[in-house]
Amino acid sequence: MQNIVLFGPPGAGKGTQSQKLIEQYGYIHLSTGDLLRSQIALGTQLGQKAKELMDAGILVPDEVVIGMIASELTANPGAKGFIFDGFPRTVPQATALDALLADHSTSVKGMIALEVAHDVLVARLLNRGLTSGRPDDVNEVLIAKRVDEYNSKTKPVADYYKAQHKYTGIFGEGEVDDIFQQICRVIDGFGR
């Protein structure tokens, strides 16, 4: 099984590239952001609590997202692989993912990190905010809060995978298709 962690700050292109990767490789896409937004849309208690935090640009508690990922892994026993998009976002989430995958006799093959300059991220998110209806995309103060959360809590996750020699950084600016080709080269290099 081929399990890839797609990593990067808010707006780096994780969701965008994930859509193309699932078409190319037939892996299952697990985006904790999408899973949380579907809980919000369903109006569940979990969704209501998550919405307050997400709208403020703050990460939701580790146990919530780890529980969602655990359920998805169990629900997809025959998967060829998973693309983890926006997860893990903290070191405790990364250690939990290793343990969950070990329970399913598999592991993370590699982390692919999209590297994008701060001003480009802000411009992309504000642009998406014009049409996405996402409250966390609408203003620069909220976007700055999300980037702060990324710098303080999420960046250390890259070091976690670097220590395991599983980290590859890719320049995430430019044409979506060019970035996609670079990601495919890295995944193809992992072998099956």
Active centre residues (catalytic): 14, 89, 128, 134, 146
Give, as one character, the DSSP assignment of residue 59: P
Question: Nearer to ligand B4P by C-beta: 42 or 105?
Answer: 42
| Extended beta strands in the chain, E state | 2-7, 28-31, 81-85, 110-115, 167-171
Shortest Cβ 18–ligand B4P spacing (Å)? 7
Please say whether the beta carbons of 114 and 88 come within 8 A.
no
Q: In the set 3, 4, 7, 12, which binds ligand B4P (CB under 6 A)?
A: 12
If binding is defined by CB under 6 A, does position 36 make contact with ligand B4P?
yes
- Using CB under 6 A, pick the residue from 21, 79, 94, 179 that binds ligand B4P: 179
Instruction: Tell whether residue 39 is a contact of ligand B4P (CB under 6 A).
Output: no
Classify 83 as helix, strand or coil. strand
CB under 8 Å to 90, separation ≥6 — which residues? 59, 62, 153, 154, 156, 157
| Residue 13 touches ligand B4P, criterion: CB under 6 A | yes
Whether 57 contacts 147, CB under 8 Å: no
Closest CB to ligand B4P among residues 62, 190: 62
Rounded distance between C-alpha atoms, residue 10 and residue 149, angstroms: 10
Contact residue for ligand B4P among 4, 10, 82, 142 (CB under 6 A): 10
- Which parts of 94-123 interact with ligand B4P (CB under 6 A)? none
Kindly indicate which of the ranges 72-80, 86-94, 103-111, 180-188 contains the residues binding ligand B4P, using the contact rule CB under 6 A. 86-94
Calpha distance 124→117 (Å, rounded): 11
- What residue is closest to ligand B4P based on CB? 33
Tell me if 128 contacts ligand B4P by CB under 6 A.
yes
DSSP letters, 133-186, are: --GGGS-HHHHHHHHHHIIIIIHHHHHHHHHTT-EEEEE--S-HHHHHHHHHHH
- Give the footprint of ligand B4P on this chain (CB under 6 A): 10-16, 32-33, 36, 53-54, 57-60, 65, 86-87, 89, 93, 124, 128, 136, 146, 176, 179
